[in-house]
Structure 1
Amino acid sequence: MRRGTEVKLTPTEWHLVEALVRRAGTLVPGAQLLAEVWGPGYENQGNYLRVYFAQLRRKLEDVPSAPRHFITEPGLGYRFEP
């Protein structure tokens, strides 16, 4: 829910959210997210994460260009801040 409205997430978006929320406040390396969500062999497909996190921010963040919850640590990974 965002501002009282149900937000529809794709299965892949949901899996990314779930993976980060389980480790809230913890930096999760991009390669680890890729392997967990897409499977082994996708660890070098960082472009997938850029695209999907842009979509998630548009759907879930109040100001997608200044995210408060889905944080990118350039060159390191991603983290969820509740």
Structure 2
Amino acid sequence: MGGASIWHWIVVGLIVLLLFGRGKISEMMGDVAKGIKAFKKGMAEDDTPEAAPASASDKGKVIEHKATPAAEVDAKSSERKVG
């Protein structure tokens, strides 16, 4: 009485078939297959890059900044102090 023999598994299989029926098990397996396919399709869609914007107005404004050297900034600030 220790391990499960082949007869135990046959009895368990028959009970499962009686409870769920042959059609119900095949329907469940079909639903599982559809779920796996939908999951793979969703993962494939995540890997594809998004389309580039159609026009330049979608990108937004670009603000250009010109940095002034430190010497010019010091000269301007000293002129303000004197004058």
Into which bin does the TM-score normalised by the smaller protein fall?
under 0.3
More strand by share: 1
Greater radius of gyration (CA):
2
TM-score, with structure 2 as normaliser: 0.23
Structure with higher RCO (Cα < 8 A, 6+ apart): 1
More helix by share: 2
